[in-house]
Amino acid sequence: MKTEAFEKYESSVRSYCRHFPTVFTTAKGSIIKDEEGNEYIDFFCGAGAVNYGHNNEYIKAKTLEYFSTDGIIHALDMYTVPKREFIETLETKILEPRGFDYRIQFPGPTGTNAVEAALKLARKYTGRRNIFAFMGCFHGMTLGALSATSEMFARNGAIASLTDCTHIPAPYMVEGLDVVKYMQMLIDDDHSATDKPAAVIMETVQAEGGIRVFDVEFLKAVREFCTKNDILMIVDDIQIGCCRSGSFFSFERAGIQPDIVVMSKSIGGIGMPMSIVLHKPEIDVWKPGEHNGTFRGNQLSFVAGKAAIEYLLENNVEAETKRKGDIVKNFVEKEILPLNDKLELRGIGLMWGIDCSKIDSALASKLSDLCFTKNLICEVAGRNGSVLKIMPALVIEDELLLKGLNIVKEAFKEILADY
């Protein structure tokens, strides 16, 4: 295993490589290989960036086709054919069928840049500086997004002022607290010390917060709260969007429409860097160039992004995600939870977490390590990393899925023997 170059030259900030200490080479669907010929089942999915599998045949072919010509690759925000086709496809295949009327903004191709753009837009439109975000959320690492992100480890890295956000306890955090009523109180009480916000930003499922699925009633109530108080609702669908929850947008299950939707990760199909901000036409108060970024016009991303939409529709990915989600749920409930009654399962679509915090916060991390030795890639999430996260490709073969789940089960059995 030749890792000296990394150890010698790469910054100590590197992270995942420490949990999965090998050198990867090829990847196809849900299988990744390393330099020594080992094969791993991927239950991690590039943190959600390759929902349709590594090197997805269809998307890859389309992208390769474009890349094999002299099609322009880098075009900033100039007009190009691939960009036009992506826009048309997203509008006609995804947005219109759902009755959604959104303008599309292309910021720098990272989720955090998209969140920064969304927050700026909400502030510009309302003229208000404050933002409500929920504890347990993750919205990115650049200073504007980080102000909204609740994770202390990430925040403490800034050594700078993180301002203009008020964090609201998530519904699962404080027993007996009606969170929406609490937010209304913050708006209404003339002694709340809290400025009325431009927007509420939220994930519908807090992934990094520990696979916390907000229920439909809560999502509806937040939407209603925002409408009633003339506050924008921003949904960060970076990780839970792109079908991960079982529908293209994660909020469809609640029948609501946010004012702004932020997407990234799998929007670029096979890991092509891309992010988008969808916003209602009436809030489009941007001046030209007021938010920009060099790589906002990567044409390979547009091509792959378009192909990804075609692929997911053609292959019924939404329904498949739900079906496979049930497989995971049933398996864990039947095979793993019975191993210890302090384990807790949470999830939706194909994002699941087994919460081990009631046994030992360090347990999930040990499980992840053990899984890796059994050729399964599986990450942790949640408070103190205490949740084992199961996030396979949405198109994983049933057999592989079960194989992976059995590895998880074996790992639990081995580890729990010590508890």
Count of residues in contact with a copy of itself, rule CB under 8 A: 141
Binding range to a copy of itself, per CB under 8 A, among 142-150, 318-326, 340-348, 395-403: 142-150
Among 112, 204, 257, 321, binds a copy of itself (CB under 8 A): 112
Candidates 414, 411, 404, 415; CA nearest to 45 is: 404
Closest to 394 in 3D by CA, of 54, 57, 61, 53: 53
Label residue 217 exposed, middle or buried (CB < 10 Å: 0-12, 13-18, 19+). Answer: exposed
Q: Does the footprint of a copy of itself cover residue 147 (CB under 8 A)?
A: yes
* Site mask for a copy of itself (CB under 8 A), range 223-252, x = bound: ---------------x--------------
Residues in 91-110 that interact with a copy of itself by CB under 8 A? 91, 103-106, 108-110
Using CB under 8 A, pick the residue from 22, 315, 340, 375 that binds a copy of itself: 22
Are 364 and 385 in contact by the 8 Å Cβ rule? The answer is yes
Is 160 one of the binding residues for a copy of itself (CB under 8 A)?
Answer: yes
**Cβ atoms within 10 Å of 330's Cβ, excluding its own:** 11
- 417 binding a copy of itself? (CB under 8 A): no
Tell me whether residue 286 or residue 406 sits nearer to a copy of itself (CB atom): 286
Reduced to 3 states, what is the DSSP secondary structure of residue 262?
strand
Stretch 257-316 residues interacting with a copy of itself (CB under 8 A)? 264-265, 270-273, 277, 279, 284-295, 298, 300
Are 392 and 43 a contacting pair, CB within 8 Å? yes
CA distance 344 to 362: 15
Q: List the structure tokens of 233.
A: 């609702």
CB-count burial class (<10 Å; 0-12, 13-18, 19+) for 167: middle
Contact between 226 and 179 under an 8 Å Cβ cutoff? The reply is: no
What residues from 184 to 213 belong to the interface with a copy of itself (CB under 8 A)?
A: 185, 189-194, 198, 209
Segment interacting with a copy of itself, rule: CB under 8 A, options 87-95, 348-356, 368-376, 395-403: 87-95
Considering only residues 2, 37, 417, 418, which one is a binding residue for a copy of itself as defined by CB under 8 A?
Answer: 2
Contact residues for 268 (Cβ-Cβ < 8 A; gap 6+): 49, 109, 274, 301, 304, 305, 308
Nearest to 108 by CA among 302, 292, 303: 292
**Under DSSP, is residue 380 helix (H, G, I), strand (E, B) or coil?**
strand
Q: Is 116 in the site for a copy of itself (CB under 8 A)?
A: yes
Residues 32-51 that bind a copy of itself (CB under 8 A): 32, 35, 46-50
In the DSSP assignment, the letter for residue 394 is: T
Return d(Cα 374, Cα 410) in angstroms, integer.
9
Distance of alpha carbon 404 from alpha carbon 396, whole angstroms: 10
Smaller CB distance to a copy of itself: residue 77 or 252? Answer: 77
Q: Which of residues 119-138 bind a copy of itself (CB under 8 A)?
A: 119-120, 123-124, 127-129, 133, 135-137
| Site residues (CB under 8 A) for a copy of itself, limited to 387-416 | none
Q: Which is nearer to a copy of itself, 164 or 335 (CB)?
A: 164
User: Measured from the CB of residue 72, what is the shortest distance to a copy of itself in angstroms?
Assistant: 4
Sole binder of a copy of itself in the list 37, 159, 314, 373 (CB under 8 A)? 159
- In the window 57-86, what residues touch a copy of itself (CB under 8 A)? 63-64, 67-81, 83-84
337 binds a copy of itself (CB under 8 A): no
Q: Which is nearer to a copy of itself, 198 or 354 (CB)?
A: 198
Site for a copy of itself (CB under 8 A): which residue of 36, 65, 88, 333? 88
Cα separation values, 332 from 324, 404, 408, Å = 12, 12, 9
